Amino acid sequence: MRRLIASFAAAGLLISQQAAAEMNCLPPNARAAFAVQALRSEMMVLATGCSDDAQYNAFIERYRPALMANENAIDAWFKRNFGRSAQDEHDRFVTDLANAQSSAGTQMGTDFCPHNGVIFQEVMALPGSDDLAAFAAGQNLVPGSLNVCREDVAEAPRKPERRVAQRRK
């Protein structure tokens, strides 16, 4: 039994390290924004899977300004990195994130709600919205499988230089 628990703990540590490594290509402000997005998604998955809309609604209401500012930061990141396809990529990311978190919950079975539901109390106990990003970052909720740091988006694309035609005299 101890070996089983140790192997689960080691697997959890490896997964969280992989997720953290996946986000290292991002600047700190983008990492924080993605962590908050993942926290919001995790809480939505918990609310849906555990029939706990009241706690999710309380979270959204309490942190509404911070969550809206975070959504704007995420939107800006996708626009910088994907241009015209930003909305499609953003939607894909949010869907893939929720699906990955939901899948992890399904794998946990009946332990999912009691084990992960504690996050509602933890986030609501924070002193204020200024603490939300640090709390979210400590949760390691962005699955490494999402590959936020794909090589084709790790750096913002550069705009081509515009040539100015010289006037003839």
Whose tokens are 């499609």? That residue is 88
Structure-block tokens of residue 12: 């959890």
Does position 154 have pLDDT exceeding 70, yes or no?
no
Q: How far apart are CA 57 and CA 6, in angstroms?
A: 36
Give the pLDDT confidence of 58-115 residue by residue, as tens digits: 999 999 999 999 999 999 999 999 999 999 999 999 999 999 999 988 888 888 888 8
Q: What confidence tier does 24 reach under pLDDT thresholds 50, 70, 90?
A: confident
Q: How far apart are CA 60 and CA 51, in angstroms?
A: 16
Mean pLDDT of 5-25: 45
* pLDDT value of residue 110: 84
Instruction: Map 141-159 to HEC letters.
Output: CCCHHHCCCCCCCCCCCCC
Q: Across the chain, which distance is largest between two alpha carbons, in Å?
A: 88
Q: What confidence tier does 23 reach under pLDDT thresholds 50, 70, 90?
A: low
